[in-house]
């Protein structure tokens, strides 16, 4: 090939550089989620994007780094959204409700992200996992804090905190495995259902009695436990 042709190619490459990099990450996420990381070759990703394998290396440093980037971005983003969801919520019950409904909705909307993040963690090397695990711990801590505070202020039963939180997190992850975006339920509806279910397992019975069989949404919860700025209302209804 003559020099001009090469120059031309490089110019063309640069003008679509950002788009190509995004395409790589998009298709990689999709393939990793549906076929698994191990069963997805760089050749599959290159083909989906429409380039040769060697060309991938102007955008990524390797297959494992590609997986790591996807997992790190997804986990960081999730943490930030959950932190934002509980940011100015004082009442523990309302905080847990916000965590569960936000988390479930995210796991519905970004199924592939969730699936890859949890199915492929073993593929990372130790150094990479040492970045992801603290992020996960921070997410779990939001839940641990909410449940602990809820027990302390008397809105939750005195459950074993760690196991309960593990249960809630498992429930949320599971959503990514079965949620059907073409089905009847919206992410928000699934979120509300799971939040209701989780809260009912935790709230003290006196509060549940006041709620009856109505859905435990944020508004009803605020009536039941107060908004954290004053005395809990335990004779609502």
Question: Cα(188)–Cα(104) distance, rounded to whole angstroms?
Answer: 8
Task: Give the footprint of DNA on residues 7-36 (CB under 7 A).
Answer: 9-10, 12-13, 16-17, 20
Interface with a copy of itself (CB under 8 A), residue from 48, 153, 185, 232? 185
Q: Could you say whether residue 40 binds DNA (CB under 7 A)? A: yes
Residue 232: CB minimum distance to DNA, A: 55
Q: Provide the token pair at 46.
A: 């290159």
Query: Of 201, 203, 189, whose CA–CA distance to 151 is shortest?
Result: 203
Site string for a copy of itself, 37-76 (x = CB under 8 A): xxx-------------------------------------
**Degrees (nearest 5) of the Cα angle 175, 180, 182?**
150
Residues 6+ apart with CB under 8 A from 229: 90
Q: What are phi and psi of 156, to 5 degrees?
A: -105, 155
Q: Provide the token pair at 123.
A: 């593929």
- What is the four-CA torsion angle of 188, 192, 195, 196, rounded to 10 degrees? -170
Q: Could you say whether residue 1 binds DNA (CB under 7 A)? A: yes
Residue 115: CB minimum distance to a copy of itself, A: 10
Site string for a copy of itself, 151-180 (x = CB under 8 A): ------xxxx--xx-xx-xxx-xxx-xx--
Q: What is the DSSP string of 159-215?
A: --HHHHHHHHHHHHHHHHHH--TTSS--HHHHHHHHHHHHHHHHB-HHHHHHHTTS-
By a kind-dependent CB cut-off of 5 to 8 A, residue 17 interacts, out of DNA, a copy of itself, none, with: DNA
Q: Could you say whether residue 194 binds a copy of itself (CB under 8 A)? A: yes
Task: Give the footprint of DNA on residues 55-74 (CB under 7 A).
Answer: 55, 57-59, 62-64
Toward DNA, which CB reaches closer, 31 or 106?
31
Helix axes 111-119, 161-178, angle to 10 degrees: 120
Which residues form the interface with DNA (CB under 7 A)? 1, 6, 9-10, 12-13, 16-17, 20, 40-43, 50-55, 57-59, 62-64
Interface residues with a copy of itself (CB under 8 A)?
A: 34-39, 119, 122-123, 157-160, 163-164, 166-167, 169-171, 173-175, 177-178, 185, 190, 193-194, 196-198, 200-202, 204-205, 208-209, 211-213
């Amino acid at each position: 090939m003559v020099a001009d042709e090469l120059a031309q190619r490089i110019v063309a490459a640069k003008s679509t550089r950002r788009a190509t990099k995004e395409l790589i990450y998009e298709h990689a996420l999709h393939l990793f989620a549906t076929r698994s990381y191990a069963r997805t070759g760089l050749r599959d990703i290159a083909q989906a994007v429409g380039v040769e394998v060697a060309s991938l290396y102007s955008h990524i440093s390797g297959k494992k780094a590609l997986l790591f980037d996807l997992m790190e971005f997804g986990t960081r983003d999730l943490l930030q959204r959950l932190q934002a969801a509980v940011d100015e919520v004082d009442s523990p019950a309302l905080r847990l409700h916000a965590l569960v409904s936000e988390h479930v909705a995210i796991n519905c909307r970004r199924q592939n992200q969730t699936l890859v993040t949890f199915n492929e963690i073993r593929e990372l090397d130790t150094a990479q996992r040492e970045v992801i695990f603290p992020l996960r711990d921070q997410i779990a801590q939001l839940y641990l804090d909410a449940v602990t505070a809820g027990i302390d202020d008397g809105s939750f039963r005195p459950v074993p905190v760690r196991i309960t939180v593990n249960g809630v997190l498992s429930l949320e992850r599971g959503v990514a495995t079965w949620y059907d975006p073409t089905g009847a339920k919206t992410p928000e509806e699934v979120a509300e259902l799971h939040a209701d279910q989780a809260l009912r397992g935790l709230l003290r019975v006196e509060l549940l009695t006041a709620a009856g069989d109505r859905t435990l949404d944020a508004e009803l919860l605020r009536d039941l436990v107060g908004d954290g700025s004053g005395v809990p209302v335990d004779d609502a209804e």
